[in-house]
A and B are shown apart, each in its own frame.
Chain A
Amino acid sequence: EAQVTQNPRYLITVTGKKLTVTCSQNMNHEYMSWYRQDPGLGLRQIYYSMNVEVTDKGDVPEGYKVSRKEKRNFPLILESPSPNQTSLYFCASGEGEGYEQYFGPGTRLTVT
């Protein structure tokens, strides 16, 4: 089954404790991206990767890092999480320039 998987689905952590949210896709897509979704602010892009060699910032990259060492995986790293990073996070992948994106099920992160 073609899908984007994220892990964990739910995470509660404390301020400053480094964490990684994994994202994997099995559709051989070049394009992958991370978003956060907050009430009243909608879906905002954090980082995107056109392919394994090109990664660039979205609208809200501060406090996040990403890594694209292989085509299928695109982990999101929070080196020192803060409460304002409490949010619902989505990973997505797409063909070519990312026109038709497939989203993962989401990761609900709470930072206390």
Chain B
Amino acid sequence: EDQVTQSPEALRLQEGESSSLNCSYTVSGLRGLFWYRQDPGKGPEFLFTLYSAGEEKEKERLKATLTKKESFLHITAPKPEDSATYLCAVQWDFGTSYGKLTFGQGTILTVHP
């Protein structure tokens, strides 16, 4: 069964303490892997799309990387405003229907000042 698993479930960091979030997947025919940020009470906000192993994307303090089995979201010198739930999602190709998206359960990141 195709699955998307994120770890850790929750992560507490001190401001400036860099770390990484993990998203592992077991899907065949990966079409794209996506990272979203979700603040409490709001809809997810798009961060990155990765299409193939070895690809990297950066935005401010965030950097997303992709291998054949997992993706990492690296957070460098985080600030309290980076506190949010980070979601990864996988879109895969299975025949004629390729618009299906599966989300992981998310990592709740808290950055203390």
Contacts and interface: CB of A to CB of B under 8 A. Distances in A.
Interface in B56-103: 87, 89, 91, 97-103
B103 A42 contact: yes
Q: At the interface, is chain B mostly helix, strand, loop or mixed?
A: strand
A98 B106 contact: no
Interface string A25-62: 00000010101000011111100111000101011000
A29 to B, nearest CB: 12
Counting chain A residues whose Cβ lies within 8 A of the other chain, the interface size class is 20 to 34
Contact of B87 (A4, A43, A58, A92): A43
A36 to B, nearest CB: 11
Interface of B: 31-32, 34, 41-46, 49, 87, 89, 91, 97-106
B46 A100 contact: yes
Interface string A52-95: 00101011000000000000000000000000000000101000
B81 to A, nearest CB: 20
Nearest to B87: A43
